[in-house]
Chains A and B, each alone.
Chain A
Amino acid sequence: MAAIEELSPASGPVSTRPPEDEIDDDEDEDLDETLMERLWGLTEMFPDSVRSAAEVSAQCSVSMLKKFYSFSRSALWVGTTSFMILVLPVVFETERLQLEQQQLQQQRQILLGPNTAVSGGMPGMMPPAPGKM
C-alpha cells in the first residue's frame, strides 16, 4: 500500500508551485514545440470543413502552378524551334533581297541622278557620250 500516498489535512501547507528547476523543465518542455507547430496549432480553431477546403485548394493551386510552369517551358521550346525551322530562313532571305534591291536603287540614284531613283526608272538611260567631232 505504499503506491498511493494520502495527504492528510494535518500534513501542513503543501506547496502547489513546483520548485524552480521544475519550472525550467516545464518551460523547456514548452520550448520543444517549434514555432511552426505552434502556428499550426492555431489553425485548429477553424472547423474541419474550412480546414479541408483550404488544404485542397492549396494543393490544387500548387500542382497547377507546377504543371503550368512545365507546360510553358516545353511550349516555349517547341515554339522557338519550330519558328526557327519554319519561318526564319524565309525571313532572312527576304530581308537580304530587300537590302540588295535597296542597294541597287541607291547605286542607280548615285549614278543617274536623284530623279531616276523611282522604281521603274529606266536603267538603260546613260548620259550622252562625248561625240567625236
Chain B
Amino acid sequence: MGGVLAASPPPPAAGSSASPGLTVPPGFGMPSVSTVVPPAESPLPNPGAFDECHRRCKEVFPLQMEGVRVVVNKGLSNHFQVNHSVLLSTTGDSSYRFGATFVGSKQTGPAEFFPVMVGDMDNSGSLNAQIIHQVTSRVRSKLAFQTQQQKFVNWQGDAEFRGEDFTATVTLGNPDVLAGSGIVVAHYLQSVTPALALGGELVYHRRPGEEGSVTSLVGRYTGSNYVATVTLGSAGAHASYYHKANDQLQVGVEFEASARMQDTSVSFGYQLDVPKANLVFKGSVDSNWVVGATLEKKLLPLPLSLLLCSFLNHQKNKVQCGFGITVG
C-alpha cells in the first residue's frame, strides 16, 4: 500500500520571499528544524512535526540515483515556478517530467507562505500533486494525490495541529467509502523537557475482510550539537544519531531492525561542506556492504549545479553511477 508522504512542506515557500526568480527547486533542501533550547523558566517549545524526528539524520546520507538527469528551474514570478526534468535511466525507462509550484500570499512565518500547491506530471501521464494550506493559525492541512497514468494510486489528506508544546497529526490515506478500506494514521509528539520529546504513532488499516493496527513509540533527545532519536514499534525498531562535529562536518549513524523481514542494518554517513569550493560531499557506508557517495558542486558564476553520484555494492559487485545537472 502506498506509504504516507512526507508531511513537511516543500521549500519553494522559503525561496519565494527572497527574490522574484525562485531558485530553490521543490524537493531539495528541507526547511531545517529549529532545535533551539529555551531557558528553563519559559514554557516548553513546540517539538516540531512528527516526521521530522529522523529527518536530520537522514539528510546526511547520500541519495542514490542512476542515469543522467537534467533539471531546469524557471521562476516566472514571485508566486509561480516551473521546472522541467529529463531523466535518462540506465535500468528503467527514460522520462520527462513537468512540474509547477504555486505559492500563495498568506504569510505565517519569516519564510513561509501559504497555500502551497506543487504538482508534476510525467510523459506517460502520471501525476503527483500536493496542496498544503494553513487553515487556521494552529492547524495546517495537506492533500496529496498520486496517479499511475490515469489510475489513482494514492490519495490522502492530513491535518496537523500545533499546540503550545505538542503536535498532533491525523492522516487519512486512500479512503474508499464504497469498498470500506483505508488507512488512518495518528501521530502525537509532546515536549517533556526542553531537550526531550516523546511521542507515539498509531496506524490502523482496514480492507474488506481484514483490519489491523501497528503502534510505535518515539523518543527524541536534542543535545548541544547532537540529536538522538529512537523509534520502537511492533513493526521494528529504528534508532538514529546525528552529530554536528564542526561547521564543515556532520555525521549520522542509523540503526534499523525490521520485524517483518527479520533483518537489521547499520549505516554510517557523513556530510562535508566546503563552501569555499562550493562543494557538498555526502558519503555513506552500510552493513550490507554498500558504499556510496554524492558530490554536489555549484559551477559559479553560471547558475549551474553539478551532481555526481556513485554507489558500489561489494557483495553483489555492482556499481550504480549517475550524474545530474540543475540549471537555475
Q: Mark A87-122, 1 if CB is under 8 A from B, else 0.
A: 001100110110000000000000000000000000
Q: Is A4 at the interface (CB under 8 A from chain B)?
A: no
Distance in angstroms between the alpha carbons of A97 and B276 in the assembled complex:
8
B207 at the interface (CB under 8 A from A): no
Q: Are B312 and A85 in contact (CB under 8 A)?
A: yes
Residues of B within 8 A of A78 (CB): 314
- A105 → chain B, closest Cβ, in Å? 14
Q: Is B277 an interface residue (CB 8 A)?
A: yes
Instruction: Compute how far the CA of A82 lies from the CA of B312 in the bound complex, rounded to whole angstroms.
Output: 8
Asked if B279 and A85 sit within 8 Å, CB to CB, the answer is no
- Counting contact residues on chain B (CB < 8 A from A), the size range is 10 to 19
- The B interface is mostly helix, strand or loop, or mixed, namely strand
Interface size on A, residues (CB 8 A): 11
Q: Are A86 and B285 in contact (CB under 8 A)?
A: yes
In the bound complex, do residue B291 and residue A82 qualify as a contact, i.e. CB atoms below 8 Å apart?
yes
Contacts from B to A (Cβ < 8 Å): 272, 274, 276-277, 279, 281, 283, 285, 291-293, 295, 297, 308, 310, 312, 314
Q: How far is the CA of A78 from the CA of B315 in the complex (A)?
A: 10
Complex Cα spacing A75 to B107, Å: 56
Q: Report A-chain residues with C-beta under 8 Å of the C-beta of B276.
A: 97
Q: Please, which residues of chain B bring their CB within 8 A of the CB of A89?
A: 281, 293, 295, 308
Distance, CA A86 to CA B282, complexed state (A): 8
* Closest partner residue, chain A, to B308 (CB atom): A89
Contacts of B310 in A (CB 8 A): 85
A81 within 8 A of B: yes
How far is B295's CA from A89's CA once the two chains are assembled, in angstroms? 8
With beta carbons under 8 angstroms apart, the residue of B274, B283, B314 that contacts A93 is B274
Task: Determine which of A81, A93, A94, A96 lies in contact with B312 in the assembled complex, contact meaning CB atoms within 8 Å.
Answer: A81
B274 touches A86 (CB 8 A): no
CB < 8 Å: which of B277, B293, B314 contacts A97? B277
Report the bound CA distance from A96 to B278 in whole Å. 12
Chain B neighbourhood of A86, CB < 8 A: 283, 285, 291, 293
B277 contacts A81, CB within 8 Å? no
Minimum CB–CB distance for B248 against chain A, Å:
10
Which residues of B lie under 8 Å from residue A85 when comparing CB positions? Answer: 283, 291-293, 310, 312
Smallest CB–CB gap between A131 and chain B, Å? 34
Known: A86-B283, A93-B277, A97-B274. 13 other contacts (CB 8 A): A81-B312, A82-B291, A82-B314, A85-B283, A86-B285, A89-B293, A89-B295, A90-B272, A90-B274, A93-B274, A93-B281, A93-B295, A96-B277
In the complex the two chains form, what is the Cα distance from A88 to B166 in whole Å? Answer: 45
Q: Write out the residue numbers on chain B whose beta carbons fall within 8 Å of the beta carbon of A93.
A: 274, 277, 279, 281, 295, 297
